[in-house]
Structure formats: structure tokens, C-alpha cells
Amino acid sequence: MGHKIERTTEDIKRELTAIFRELKDPRVRDAFISIIRVDLTNDLSYCTVYVSAMEGLDRCKLACKGLDSASGFIRRELGARLKLRHVPSLIFTASDSIEYSANISRILNNLHISKDDENDG
């Protein structure tokens, strides 16, 4: 991947994070969502945004519906902030990686507790 695309991808991720905070749609505003990854096509025509919600995959899918309905506004904001000549079409995809990470942390913490119990006995 070219340096320009990598830089543009990082810029898009940073600006989208800021734009998400400004959205008034309750499906987006009331969810604790995070951008996991941004994939940009080489011709900059499509941008897939992988989003995860702390509340789980179902909540994230609902937030993605809110993002889809606000995509015109989001693209306009993105174009204005990044001074892009062509703003890519945004595709929002729900991911369960935050939930997955939290679950792994819980499992690891439980392992530590079990080990501590054995050491005490």
C-alpha cells in the first residue's frame, strides 16, 4: 500500500472519530462505538469502516444503521475537513472485536483468580 493511501487512511480514521461524536442520531450517540479499522481502495472510491461497540455486536449493527443514514452528512464533513477532491463512499461494517477483546480479558482475569486460589490453599 502506498504511503499516500496509508496517510489518508489515518486521516480519515481520525476525522471520522471526531465526526461520530457530533452525530445526533441516538442509534450512534447512545452507543459506545469505536473505529477498529479503515480500509481504503487504491483509487480512493470506497472506504470500509469497521466499527465495534462495547455493548456487543447487535448494538453495533444498530449503530451502523444510524451511520448509514448519516453517511451523506459524514461524507460532506469528511470532505470539508480533509480537503479531499473526491470523498470515498463509506461502507460501515459491524465488528465484535471490542466485545471479543473484553471477553478474552475476562477469561484471563479468571485464570489469574484461579491460580491465586490454588496458591492460597
Rounded Cα gap, residues 52 and 34, in angstroms:
5
Q: With left for phi above 0 and alpha for psi between -120 and 50, is residue 83 left, alpha or beta?
A: left
- The percentage of the chain sitting over the pLDDT mark of 70, rounded to a whole number, equals 89
Pick the CATH number of 3-96 from 3.30.300.20, 3.90.1150.10, 1.20.1260.10, 3.60.21.10: 3.30.300.20
Is the pLDDT higher at 116 or at 46?
46
Q: What is the pLDDT of residue 31?
A: 87
Contact present, 70 and 92 (Cβ < 8 Å): no
Other C-beta atoms lying within 10 Å of the C-beta of residue 100: 13
Is the pLDDT higher at 76 or at 98?
76
Instruction: Report which residue type is found at 18.
Output: A
Minimal CA–CA distance to 48: which of 73, 21, 16? 16
**With the CA atoms of 61, 69, 32 and 16 taken in that order, what torsion angle do they form, in degrees rounded to the nearest 10?**
120
Q: What is the pLDDT of residue 1?
A: 55
